[in-house]
Amino acid sequence: MELVQTAVKRFDDYRQFLDDEVAGEIQYLAGRLKGKKAAMINATAFGGGVAEKLHSLVPLLKDLGVELDWWVIKADLDFYQVTKLFHNRLQGQEGELSSAAIDIYLNYNRKNAAALEYWDYDFIVVHDPQPAALVDYRKDGGRTRWIWRCHIDTSTPNPQYWDFLYRYIRQYDATIFTMRDFVKEGTSLNNLTLITPSIDPLSPKNIHLEREQARGMICSFGVDGTRPLISQVSRFDPWKDPLGVIEVYKIVKKEFPSVQLALVGSMASDDPEGWDYLYHTLRRAGEDYDITIVTNFNGITGLEVNAFQTASDIVIQKSLREGFGLTVAEALWKGTPVIGGNVGGIKLQIEDGVNGYLVETVEDCAEKVLTLLRNPAVAQHFAAAGREKVRREFLTTTNALQYLRLFNRLSGFDAGSPLHEKEAPIT
């Protein structure tokens, strides 16, 4: 495994976003963990929402005094091809789990587990299916509290894949899911806890940009800053339905011929399927010069994503399955109206008709886009409500607080603490 280096974060810089009571609880809980050591383990240091969250969460917890390391497993392409199948099939895709895939998966977990012999942590948090089998090689005699964090929608998983993974995740001392609906019916897991993902308000992706500044930035990618813009920011993945977004755009364009569409994505090292779907999306877009498709290989960094989300009149996240959808919170934070698929963690972020719209079909999505383009006052109302919801529930400080509550609880620090009931284990 490889140790990931992160930038420095200062908790004091985030106080501007926090109520005093919340700031006080964060510092209190962090102080009680003095002398404890923790590790995060995932599949990649860059690309995708998990890595992005850890680049903010890890240094913030470290500044609060938590001794925390972040490790990334080492593997070759064959492993990531297998674990992409795990990702899709745990979200419900049909298909058989082959013995060859099992061998590849376990072989790389076994190789990475060699590092565990030298570790001395009080908490180890393992993210998603890729490294989940590491717990089978624990050598801590039960002293270390192992926690598995699931970031995907496993509410109706492929039974073969779930049954295989379940033999490992049931060994963990605690499990974290984004929402109760993602926990398969009949599952029995230790210290089942709900924690939503979060965004970093001080990262380049989420710092404040003036709208005119943002429009000027995206013009370099071929977007006309004087015309209406719809955007979707996500991986190129069938679950994100970029092809459906293109169909939405085509319907909207019949009434608003000047409208433009931007599809902005990041190509992650643990997602070899992403390139195939990117090419599929490019073919569907064809030679429509009002459709802009860009990735990190076109010079898109977090700041450019910020610019697209800020400059857009509407952001769509038309996912068919979604663990959470950080891009929803990002756009809401920037005061941009969001229309999202009525699935998974998007439903935690968008209150239909209050701070955005939830949709089921291409036609429904197109209708809601047209509603917002025709009614700027509705869009402005959604913008204010959306930003406040993110401030209260989905900033990285909230994520830090929830992890601190869990670490404290696993350390037996419940008595006399100001822990809030909503993060208590689910029984």
Per-residue pLDDT of the chain (427 residues; tens, 9 = 90+): 999 999 999 999 999 999 999 999 999 999 999 999 999 999 999 877 889 899 999 999 999 999 999 999 999 999 999 999 999 999 999 999 999 999 999 999 999 999 898 899 999 999 999 999 999 999 888 899 999 999 988 999 999 999 999 999 999 999 999 999 999 888 899 999 999 999 999 999 999 999 999 999 999 999 999 999 999 999 898 899 999 999 999 999 999 999 999 999 877 656 667 778 898 999 999 999 999 999 888 889 999 999 999 999 999 999 998 989 999 999 999 999 999 999 999 999 999 999 999 999 999 999 999 999 999 999 999 999 999 999 999 999 999 999 999 999 999 986 444 444 344 444 3
Is the domain of 217 the same as that of 351? yes
Place of tokens 């587990």: 113
CA 3/CA 281 separation, integer angstroms: 35
Closest CA to 52 of 83, 7, 115: 7
Q: Is residue 361 part of a domain?
A: yes
Place of tokens 């663990």: 323
Place of tokens 């989300």: 309
Q: DSSP letters of 407-419?
A: HHHHTT--TT---
CA 258/CA 373 separation, integer angstroms: 12
Is the domain of 370 the same as that of 400? no
Q: Is residue 423 part of a domain?
A: no
- Rounded to two decimals, the pTM is 0.86
Closest CA to 155 of 95, 87, 91, 96: 91
Is the domain of 339 the same as that of 300? yes
Q: Is residue 426 part of a domain?
A: no
Q: What's the CATH code of the domain at 226?
A: 3.40.50.2000
Is the domain of 229 the same as that of 193? no
Is the domain of 143 the same as that of 236? no
> What count of residues does the chain have?
427
Is the domain of 83 the same as that of 181? yes
Q: How far apart are the first and last CA of the chain?
A: 34
- Say how many CA atoms lie within 13 Å of 115 toward its Cβ: 17
Closest CA to 367 of 251, 245, 206: 251
Residues 6+ apart with CB under 8 A from 421: none
Q: Is residue 232 part of a domain?
A: yes
| Residue 119 structure tokens | 């570790």
Q: Is residue 241 part of a domain?
A: yes
Number of H helices, E strands in the chain: 14, 13
CB atoms within 10 A of CB 119: 16
Is the domain of 10 the same as that of 52? yes
Residues 6+ apart with CB under 8 A from 376: none
Q: Is residue 239 part of a domain?
A: yes
CA 41/CA 43 separation, integer angstroms: 7
Is the domain of 58 the same as that of 103? yes
Is the domain of 378 the same as that of 274? yes
Q: Is residue 282 part of a domain?
A: yes
- Residue 229: φ, ψ to 5°: -135, 130
Is the domain of 236 the same as that of 337? yes
Is the domain of 17 the same as that of 93? yes
Q: How many domains does the chain have?
A: 2
Q: Could you list the residue range(s) of the whole structural domain that residue 215 is in?
A: 211-393
Closest CA to 120 of 175, 38, 189, 44: 38
Is the domain of 91 the same as that of 192? yes
Q: What's the confidence (pLDDT) of residue 48?
A: 74
Q: Is residue 326 part of a domain?
A: yes
Say which amino acid occupies 256.
F
